[in-house]
Structure 1
């Protein structure tokens, strides 16, 4: 039976994903399928519909897992997170944290439904060697929505939402002047958008602040700045949709990025839960 304590539920899901062996990278199809089946089973408890979106890359079949609540509304919000990992790493923060956030937001919004359709997408093939190519699971999904002429308010990518630090100078930045505007302690969550999409980025930031106790900062920056387009939201930008990334800033903070040290023990589940609450609140009120 599913735990009623949300923190324990988050830990249970992260522990499952990080324990899958061989590691859930693009070479290990059986591990990706095991992860996808787990995500599907969790989604099925709360969504109105769930399905696998299968696609082929280099002769192998990969799967996105996509679920929906309020399917009869025309306007929709997409929330996505990738479940594959980079190389032989456990991928607790990158990106089991985003996946369990996706599942918990689905649970919350299934009980307190927003006045729009919400699609929840768990993506494969976000990591290298397919990052930045049309073989990314999120590119496949975004292209399908574009062809369907889906009416999308915004896509929200959950990309590493579980690593926090209160230590001075634990937060790093791509350029020194960022220190004038953002904390030097890695104890906040970021809402990242590209230039020209400041309205939606700030709207989500402000709503997340209202809906949770986590400090929330936002930035709109050119995509040439390293990290700004380093997740699945990039593919929705490609097709002209508004999209943002919710992130703990990855390698600008987490010393275990893309390493064997990215384990469950490094995550702060209490703060992660506040991020999740903030995103759910934002989606409900957008």
Structure 2
């Protein structure tokens, strides 16, 4: 990976980072108010409505909101999309997405970190770029039905969307999947890995954000990691892995891989770090909003570079 991961004590939060952390908390609290998935259908629709309202507010400044509906067993599910048209290179598209459904699991999972954190980051980035024109087109997408039983099936929301992109011949030059991004732990041994050898390469402290892509997305991963490390003082790791490695394709970037688009996942590594993954304890108090705000600010810089065609 280009550059070096930040090491050492984090600098004090800036005023803008403090404000961002507060807004991220507001959105996660709304998203994680109750379990929301295909069996908690009314709650899922309510979250989709909330996201549409938030993105419509953004679109009043610039852009257009679309709700991509599709049926499953007599119910309608929706991807919610905000497009901010580019200027000089409008045909080239950067997709920034996150799934908004929570998992169906015993006890009920509110989904604060998985994936309220990712969806709140999408909203924050959409608000930021509504005020900043880019050369390339930016699309901010909240995907439905990432969790089982739809995971990596025909009815996974991101696959429905990515297939439409391909059918339309759209030039998606990169996709960032924001997935379970808000849990950090400085304790040695808090970070685990799917393959035993990886802990010889990567840190054993779960205090970094990771960027994970497949072999076909290697150039894109390196590009994103380089811009992130140049822009923010926060620990980061990049990994280019075969899709068969457990965890490597466990989010919406997988859907874009299937359509031949470069894509990566931005994540705290979820089950390899987060002890509350897919449990009723995935609640708002587990999310570190101060560190999440730093990550989102770094991503804003990354997307600014990508949007400029860098």
TM above 0.5: yes
Tell me what 1:17 maps to.
31
Q: Residues 133-172 of structure 1: matches in 2 within 5 Å?
A: 133-172=153-192
Tell me what 2:71 maps to.
56
Cα distance in 1 for residues equivalent to 2:136 and 2:250: 28
Tell me what 2:92 maps to.
75
What secondary structure does 1:246 align onto? strand
Deviations 1:6-54 (A, max 9, x none): 211111110111113xx20111221111101111111112231112110
Deviations 1:130-187 (A, max 9, x none): 1010101101100111111001110110011101011111000112221222111100
What secondary structure does 2:172 align onto? strand
Question: C-alpha root-mean-square deviation of aligned residues, in Å?
Answer: 1.2
Q: Residues 103-252 of structure 1: matches in 2 within 5 Å?
A: 103-252=123-272
Tell me what 2:19 maps to.
5
The TM-score, its normalising length taken from structure 1, stands at 0.95
| Conserved? CA contact 1:29–1:62, under 8 Å | no
> Among 55, 65, 74, which residue is 1:43 paired with?
55
Tell me what 2:11 maps to.
none
What secondary structure does 1:117 align onto? strand
| Conserved? CA contact 2:216–2:262, under 8 Å | no
- Structure 1 stretches of 4+ with a deviation exceeding 3 A read none
**C-alpha deviation, 1:232, in angstroms:** 0.6
Q: CA separation of 1:216/1:113 partners in 2, compared to 1, >3 Å: closer, same or farther? A: farther
Cα distance in 2 for residues equivalent to 1:146 and 1:215: 35
Cα distance in 1 for residues equivalent to 2:252 and 2:22: 27
| Conserved? CA contact 1:212–1:278, under 8 Å | yes
Cα distance in 2 for residues equivalent to 1:218 and 1:156: 13
Cα distance in 2 for residues equivalent to 1:93 and 1:64: 20
Cα distance in 2 for residues equivalent to 1:277 and 1:70: 21
Cα distance in 2 for residues equivalent to 1:41 and 1:211: 31
Cα distance in 2 for residues equivalent to 1:71 and 1:146: 19
What secondary structure does 1:280 align onto? helix
What secondary structure does 1:80 align onto? strand
- 1:98 lines up with 2:110 in the alignment: no
**C-alpha deviation, 1:71, in angstroms:** 5.5
| Conserved? CA contact 2:95–2:176, under 8 Å | yes
Cα distance in 2 for residues equivalent to 1:51 and 1:130: 22
Cα distance in 1 for residues equivalent to 2:84 and 2:40: 31
The TM-score, its normalising length taken from structure 2, stands at 0.88
Tell me what 1:273 maps to.
293
Cα distance in 2 for residues equivalent to 1:143 and 1:196: 18
Cα distance in 2 for residues equivalent to 1:120 and 1:156: 10
Cα distance in 1 for residues equivalent to 2:216 and 2:56: 37
**C-alpha deviation, 1:114, in angstroms:** 2.4
**C-alpha deviation, 1:112, in angstroms:** 2.2
| Conserved? CA contact 2:86–2:133, under 8 Å | no
